[in-house]
A and B are shown apart, each in its own frame.
Chain A
Amino acid sequence: MRQASATELAKMGKCERQVYLDHHHGEDTSLTATFIKRGNREHEQFNRQLSGKDKRCFIATVVFGIDAVETNILRHFRDMNLMPYRPGRILISLYYSISPYIVIVIEKHPVLKIPIRAALRWFIRSWR
């Protein structure tokens, strides 16, 4: 018996004729290429959101960006200086429970990003 993928079997729910014609004449995705590219990008984002347990840095992400240098430095600080120790892990847990609400306030009042950015950059400089 030959293998079939979930995606191939799913096509049976769309159009069996297309299944037959794709198999015998090949599948041309040029008409749907834009949708496929966008879909792949959004899948990556979905995956990142779910697997982002160790990538979370809510406040830094909002003020600097998800992959900014400062955000990565703060993640490194969290992983090296807080995660190995119990009080550090308690602090992280507390931070993750409160910070989503702080992020909501920052998003409502973007002017708050300026002092927060300055404070976090000062912290990064002091630590390094």
Chain B
Amino acid sequence: MSFLILVVVIILYWWLRSRRKPKLSPYMLEQFLKINDPIPLCGKPDVVWETRDGTLIVGDYKSRENQQVYESEVIQLSVYKLLVEKTQNRSVADYGFIHFKNRNMKKVSLMKEKEIIALYHRYWNVIGGEVVACAANSKNYCRYCSHKHECN
């Protein structure tokens, strides 16, 4: 009899605990966002999380085995953060999550708005040939590049 009561108490405890709002719940999934101010940007974050206190956190999923975080991913998440901030008019955390397989995730600090704006202008200057484009740091990256034969 006391064992049964114990089982019921345990079940009730887990049930009450599961009713509590999770620390992170998905606020937005793969929604296309676009802004024109301060600069014209667009993007589709894989996930935007909402914490219990209502703060939003951007997240992106990477399917590769290697769980290192690269600069390109920090840039991508930072742009998503700016997009969410300007479109949702809510506070967005200055960090984001990179999600990997097996529910692993890494927290990354994001770039500031003025750094993204500077990068945007540099992007168009690179395309326009107005500045000298820097090459990849890693020769390994060049292996899968379709321009490896024409790139000096």
Contacts and interface: CB of A to CB of B under 8 A. Distances in A.
A50 B63 contact: no
Given A17-B133, A38-B63, A97-B18, A12 B145 contact: no
Interface of B: 11, 14-15, 17-19, 26, 29-30, 34, 39-47, 61, 63-64, 70-76, 79-80, 83, 99, 101, 116, 119-120, 122-124, 126-127, 129, 133-136, 141-142, 144-147, 150-151
26 contacts: A1-B40, A3-B34, A4-B39, A4-B123, A5-B43, A6-B76, A6-B83, A7-B43, A9-B75, A10-B79, A12-B72, A12-B119, A12-B122, A13-B74, A14-B141, A15-B134, A15-B135, A15-B142, A17-B135, A23-B127, A39-B63, A42-B101, A47-B46, A50-B26, A51-B26, A98-B15
Interface of A: 1-25, 27-32, 35, 38-39, 41-43, 46-47, 50-51, 93-94, 96-98
